[in-house]
């Protein structure tokens, strides 16, 4: 509408943009109305009642009806704006069920993005058009802020906790990505580009982006190398909760509260395991604070999310030796390990499960992403030893 070099309005490139803009124009209208009203009144009074024209003022004490009128009318308008804004806020806060996941890590002064298929990018983010993308964000140092004006999407990126935002791009293009929370010397250099692509282009980009295994497969290795399967065996007498199917459901804690198992909860349970104890388990898990970096944490979370894959489950096996339990590649039907008494009765799957699955399918060229063997990390599958217990369900 305006020349490229002198735009006055931001590009509108997400499903949320028109909704934000509509409300913006409504408040803009209100602003114009009252500004013009007040300015007009002042000008009219100033001219009409200037002292030369109107030397004798009329003393007026005030008017209760008028006071009530100009209290209630602005209040009513304010409440309309509040309600409209609140509804919009809920839409901004709650990504659609069909969202795909992308992870973003901010650090002074760059952005790192990870796709579930293992593709990594710096200061660049490729997303498909027409598909909601949920960003899970965390900072490695100070507070940053993920801001894509064209998508009207913004969220602070905080160290030590996940924050989320989402968008669904509507037209292909390259858009600004800004860090919008002052973060030190090169704050204004912490910028990047979001490239929205047609689904086919995005598919092609994913294939060409050179991923070495999906996040979940990396996470599988982290899971093993940290010794998690020792306790999270999946058996009914295991010391740690079963992790199978856990993502996205409501889990009962020892103090009887119900907790929604999301990325934040999984992260907290790994770094600060005693914060919330699953009902029926002891507070025995050591903290992994300082042992995992944010990338590994994301991989681990993706792995735990993947433990619902396609109705199948990964059976983890370990032997009684102190060897790192690395034999993670057997996929079996999961029904037989749903043990009574472990407090892990699976709830109906939430949307999060297909999300993960969908997010991974296009992201890897291989047909069965979870079976990819990461070079150097995995040994040959160990045979189940006599004491091996079926595992595959864990819970921190």
Between 3 and 367, CB nearer to other proteins:
3
Dihedral sign of CA atoms 268, 270, 272, 276 in order: positive
Q: Closer CB to other proteins, residue 180 or residue 394? A: 180
Nearest approach, Cβ of 21 to other proteins (angstroms)? Answer: 9
Backbone angles phi, psi at 368, to 5 degrees: -125, 85
Q: Which of 89/212 has CB closer to other proteins?
A: 89
Spatial CA neighbour of 101 closest among 287, 358, 275:
358
Q: How far is the CB of 302 from other proteins (least distance, A)?
A: 21
Closer of 61 and 383 to other proteins (Cβ): 61
Choice between 59 and 320, CB closer to other proteins: 59
Name the one residue in this structure whose structure tokens are 């209760």: 64
Q: What is the CA radius of gyration of the chain?
A: 27
Locate 110 and state its tokens: 């760059």
Question: 20: helix, coil or strand?
Answer: helix
User: What's the CA gap between 331 and 396, in Å, rounded?
Assistant: 21
First-to-last alpha carbon distance for the chain, in angstroms, is: 54
Prior bond of 109 cis (ω within 30°): yes
Residue 268 CB, shortest distance to other proteins, in Å, is: 12
Query: Residue 264 CB, nearest distance to other proteins (Å)?
Result: 10
Q: How far is the CB of 236 from other proteins (least distance, A)?
A: 35
3-state secondary structure of 360: helix
CB of 174 to other proteins, least distance (A): 12
- Closest to other proteins by CB, 182 or 212: 182
* Widest Cα–Cα separation across the chain: 107
């Amino acid at each position: 509408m305006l020349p490229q070099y002198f735009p006055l309005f931001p590009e509108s490139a997400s499903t949320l943009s028109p909704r934000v803009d509509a409300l913006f124009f409504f408040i803009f209208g209100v602003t114009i109305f009252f500004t013009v009203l007040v300015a007009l009144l002042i000008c009219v009074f100033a001219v009409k009642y200037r002292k030369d024209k109107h030397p004798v003022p009329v003393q007026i004490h005030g008017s209760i009806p008028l006071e009530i009128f100009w209290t209630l009318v602005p209040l009513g308008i304010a409440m309309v704006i509040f309600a409209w804004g609140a509804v919009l806020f809920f839409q901004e806060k709650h990504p659609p069920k069909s969202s795909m996941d992308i992870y973003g890590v901010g650090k002074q002064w760059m952005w790192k993005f990870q796709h579930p298929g293992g593709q990594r990018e710096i200061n660049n983010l490729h997303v498909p058009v027409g598909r909601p993308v949920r960003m899970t964000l965390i900072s490695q140092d100070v507070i940053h802020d993920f801001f894509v004006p064209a998508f009207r999407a913004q969220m602070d990126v905080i160290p030590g906790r996940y924050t989320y935002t989402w968008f669904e791009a509507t037209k292909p293009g390259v858009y600004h990505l800004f860090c919008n929370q002052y973060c030190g010397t090169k704050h204004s250099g912490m910028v990047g580009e979001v490239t929205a692509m047609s689904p086919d282009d995005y598919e092609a980009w994913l294939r060409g982006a050179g991923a070495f295994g999906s996040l979940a497969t990396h996470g599988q290795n982290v899971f093993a190398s940290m010794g998690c399967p020792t306790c999270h065996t999946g058996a009914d007498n295991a010391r740690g909760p079963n992790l199978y199917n856990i993502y996205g459901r409501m889990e009962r804690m020892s103090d009887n509260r119900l907790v929604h198992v999301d990325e934040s909860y999984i992260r907290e349970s790994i770094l600060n395991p005693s914060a919330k104890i699953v009902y029926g388990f002891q507070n025995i898990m050591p903290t992994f604070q300082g042992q995992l970096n944010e990338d590994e944490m994301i991989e681990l979370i993706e792995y735990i999310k993947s433990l619902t894959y396609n109705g199948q489950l990964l059976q983890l096996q370990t032997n009684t030796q102190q060897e790192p339990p690395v034999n993670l590649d057997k996929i079996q039907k999961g029904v037989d390990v749903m043990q009574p008494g472990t407090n892990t009765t699976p709830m109906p799957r939430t949307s999060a499960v297909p999300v993960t699955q969908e997010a991974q399918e296009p992201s890897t060229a291989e047909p069965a992403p979870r079976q990819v063997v990461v070079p150097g990390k995995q040994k040959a599958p160990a045979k189940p030893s006599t004491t091996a217990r079926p595992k595959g369900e864990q819970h921190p």
